[in-house]
Amino acid sequence: MFRGFNLSFYDHQIDDYYKTGLQRYNEDRLAVKEGTERFLLPDGSLDGELMESEWFPNVEADVFISHSHADQKLAIAFSGWLYETFKLKCFIDSCIWGQSTKLLKNLDDKYCVSTRHDDGSVKTFSYDTRNRSTSLVYLMLSTALTKMIDRAECLMFLNTPESTTTKKVISDSTYSPWIYSEISISQMIRKLIPERYDRRSIKFFSKGGVAEPITESLKMKFVMSLGHLTDISSYDLIKWGEKYDELGSDKRYPLDLLYEKFPIDLSSYK
């Protein structure tokens, strides 16, 4: 990862790009096979490495898009806009959120059932075994998210009114453990300067803050820092696109134009 941005959306004018984004979103999602038998090793244990690579595969992407559950459609449309405007490939984090839920169901139905009804349907699950399966899958999900954030050059957090827990659009807390995890990862992960970039041409800029609701039943608030993310708005996206069109798509790499609009100090980068 090289740069991160805290993108505030106040109006959504990119709905026309949803179809393009959805097509690419579906291409990144894995066609999930039911059951877990193919992961069984001779000793009866499960092949965790194979399971992780099959359910949470690495995808080549220029931009990692982090968003709340309520903003999935916006995230998909935004990825469509980035692709049609700049030919930038995006990875949307909810691509693997859904995978974790499906994998959990497969594991729980196979290994965590405590009692069944007469018709064979699940009556109860084992509490302890269910906790272990959840921990296993969430660790794999966290690892997959970390790898994708590390591999992508740029991270975009979609900060919308729907994703906040307070009346202010920008906050410093969130109810989502995954948003908290992604933002924390983006703060601590290695920062790599693209080979095409000139260190001497960049100066400093950065600030931040955000939040997102999750469920009505159990809520845990996480305090987090977005000081390492650069604030941008939907207006900045429009100007970015206009600048790219003005220069011509064959003249400059599109992300460089965004970085130049919001320069940073590269002295602490590798």
How far apart are the C-alpha atoms of 213 and 222, rounded to whole Å?
Answer: 11
On the question of pLDDT at 232 being above 90, the answer is yes
Report the range out of 148-162, 197-211, 228-242, 243-257 with the highest average pLDDT: 228-242
Higher-pLDDT residue of 115, 165 = 115
Provide the percentage of residues in the chain whose pLDDT is more than 90.
Answer: 37
- Look at residue 262 in the predicted model and tell me its pLDDT: 94
Across residues 142-146, what is the average pLDDT? 88
Across residues 211-222, what is the average pLDDT? 50
- Look at residue 214 in the predicted model and tell me its pLDDT: 37
Minimum mean pLDDT range among 141-145, 152-156, 200-204? 200-204
CA-wise closest residue to 232 among 158, 182, 130: 158
Query: How high does pLDDT run on average in the chain?
Result: 81
On the question of pLDDT at 172 being above 60, the answer is no
- Look at residue 209 in the predicted model and tell me its pLDDT: 36
- Look at residue 270 in the predicted model and tell me its pLDDT: 62
- Look at residue 267 in the predicted model and tell me its pLDDT: 74
67, 78, 92, 239 from 18: Cα distances, Å: 15, 7, 13, 21
Across residues 169-187, what is the average pLDDT? 73
- Look at residue 219 in the predicted model and tell me its pLDDT: 65
Higher-pLDDT residue of 136, 11 = 136
Minimum mean pLDDT range among 63-77, 126-140, 186-200, 243-257? 186-200
How far apart are the C-alpha atoms of 176 and 159, rounded to whole Å?
Answer: 13
How far apart are the C-alpha atoms of 68 and 94, rounded to whole Å?
Answer: 9
Tracing tokens 């064959």 back to the chain, one arrives at 250
Higher-pLDDT residue of 210, 178 = 178
Q: What is the pLDDT of residues 37-56, one digit of tens each?
A: 778 788 878 888 888 887 77
How far apart are the C-alpha atoms of 35 and 222, rounded to whole Å?
Answer: 35
Q: What is the pLDDT of residues 103-120, one digit of tens each?
A: 888 889 888 999 999 998
Minimum mean pLDDT range among 25-39, 48-62, 91-105, 207-221? 207-221
Across residues 166-176, what is the average pLDDT? 50
Q: Enter the tokens of residue 83.
A: 């692709």
Higher-pLDDT residue of 217, 60 = 60
Look at the chain and count its residues. Answer: 270
Cβ atoms of residues 93 and 67 within 8 Å: yes
Confidence of residue 177 (pLDDT cuts 50, 70, 90): confident
Bridge partners of residue 231, in order along the sequence: 6
Given the DSSP bridges, would you call strands 113-116 and 122-125 parallel, antiparallel or unpaired?
A: antiparallel
Phi-psi region at 248: left, alpha or beta (left = phi > 0; alpha = psi -120 to 50): left
